[in-house]
Amino acid sequence: MKTFDYLINDTLLENYHIWNTFTMKLRSRLDGKTEGFANRRRKETRIPISEKVALTLDEAAEYSNIGIHRLREMINDKKNDMFIRVGAKNLVKRRRLDEFLENATVI
Looking at residue 81, which CATH number applies to its domain?
3.90.105.50
Question: Cα(50)–Cα(38) distance, rounded to whole angstroms?
Answer: 24
Highest mean pLDDT among 3-7, 10-14, 20-24: 20-24
- In tens, the pLDDT along 48-75 reads 888 889 999 999 999 999 999 999 998 8
Residues 23, 6 share a domain? yes
Q: What is the per-residue pLDDT for 40?
A: 56
Q: Do both 61 and 99 map to the same domain?
A: yes
What type of residue sits at position 53? V
Domain tally for the chain? Answer: 2
Print the domain residue range for 11: 2-43
pLDDT at 13: 59
Which of 14-28, 42-56, 65-79 is least confident?
A: 14-28
